[in-house]
Amino acid sequence: MNLFADVADQYSAFAHDARDSPCFEEWATSVASDTEVKAWIATLPQIKQQPNLVFAAARWNGVAAPGPYSGLRSALLDNPSPIRRTIMERATQTNEVGRLATLTPVFSQIGTESGRPLALVEAGASAGLCLYPDRYNYDWSPHHRLKGADGPLLVCQVSGEPPQPVRLPAIAWRSGLDLNPLDVNDDDAMAWLTNLVWPEQEERRSRLKSAIDIARNDPPYLVRGNILSDLRAQIDAAAPYGEVVVFHSAVIAYLTAEERGQFHALMTELVAEGACRWVSNEASNVLPEITATAPEAPRDRSTFVLGLNGQAVAWTHGHGASMAWL
């Protein structure tokens, strides 16, 4: 989904992406054809028009979900001030730890190749919940299972032949960089993260609660900063501890097209210098230079592209439920 598209296109695309949530699929489809609601959304700043944020803000202010579109419509048109205030104050910093099921095989591969523990730096870390790949168990069905941690099981349906880790990756350093890092001990911030999980997805909600508990037992080191200007300092801080891996998932979509080009150039330069490895996991239209290194994207569903050092290695589900290794 293009977060800088017009309202109708953005909500139509989201309806396609949100088929895992019948409520959000209905809401997005309805918004895309509702002239009055589209006009209201269009009064928001461009980056604040995104469906995830508008729907989450509505739920935060009492709109029932699952629930009929009429409830959302009434709230947006009849009493919009509280929802607008929430939209302006909050952001969609979804911390989906299910994505670790697609990231961890690459982390383990890097650890094996380097022979060193990993020093993780997450660009756009939110609360840093994805900085703990060593705290989960994995089922890459039907190929491979990996257990040994105290955390919950992450299940991912796999096709192709991905790396099959024999042990959890060793993590010597974990840090994150974000414009607005969230404190895992801030109950309000964690309630907002929970609110961002789509209505019917109780398994994701449960997984998020477990992830918050894991992070609260060992809070991550998070720095407030811009991934375009402050990433090198984070890499320098991580370098003494192990093989530096800069990674991100569903983050670069929030940059403008120009900024995305700058980020790709920065990461390409850092990899070429040997400063870090680069693991990317973004929607297929976000980093076109990486997508271009893969076969044509599946047409029947939206997909993320998992990349290693600028080269596509897999198609992945946006929440980590599946992976097709290339």
Q: Which residues of 200-222 are buried (b: 16+ CB within 10 A; e: fewer)?
A: ebeebeebbebbbebbeeeebbb
Q: Which residue has the tokens 């995104």?
A: 50
Q: Which two tokens stand for residue 269?
A: 């330069």
Residues 273 and 196: their CA atoms lie apart, in Å, by 38
CA angle 309, 152, 56 (to 5 degrees): 75
State residue 150's pLDDT score. 85
**Three-point CA angle 301, 207, 173, nearest 5°:** 100
Residue 287, both tokens: 């980093």
Distances from the Cα of 171 to the Cα of 107, 108, 214, 247, 306, angstroms: 10, 10, 15, 14, 20
Distance from first CA to last CA of the chain, Å, rounded? 22
From the list 292, 296, 315, the residue with the least C-alpha distance to 305 is 315
At 151 the pLDDT is: 87
Domain map of the chain by residue range?
Answer: 7-89, 97-325
> What is the rounded distance in angstroms from the CA atom of residue 50 to the CA atom of residue 206?
25
Q: What is the pLDDT of residue 94?
A: 80
**Residue 298 confidence (pLDDT):** 67
Residue 56: how many other CB atoms lie within 10 Å = 25
Contact present, 308 and 277 (Cβ < 8 Å): yes
Residues in the chain, pLDDT under 50:
none
Q: Rounded CA gap, 250 and 302, in Å?
A: 13
293 touches 311 (CB < 8 A): yes
The yes or no reply on domain 97-325 and CATH 2.30.29 is: no
CA–CA gap between residue 301 and residue 295 (Å, rounded): 15
Count of helices and strands (H, E) across the chain:
12, 11
pLDDT tens per residue across span 6-19: 999 999 999 988 88
Nearest CA to 128 out of 178, 195, 197 is that of 178
Distance CA 128, CA 325 (A): 26
What percent of the chain is modeled with pLDDT above 90?
88
Short-list 47, 70, 43, 45, CA closest to 58: 70
Q: DSSP character for 38?
A: H
Rounded to the nearest integer, the mean pLDDT of the chain is 94
* Whole-structure pTM value: 0.90
- Residue 222 forms beta bridges with which residues? 176
- Going by C-alpha positions, the residue among 43, 128, 30, 50 that lies closest to residue 90 is 50
Please name which of 176, 192, 194, 186 lies closest in space to residue 128, comparing C-alpha atoms. 176
Alpha-carbon distance 247 to 58, whole Å? Answer: 31
171: nearest Cα among 134, 212, 221: 134
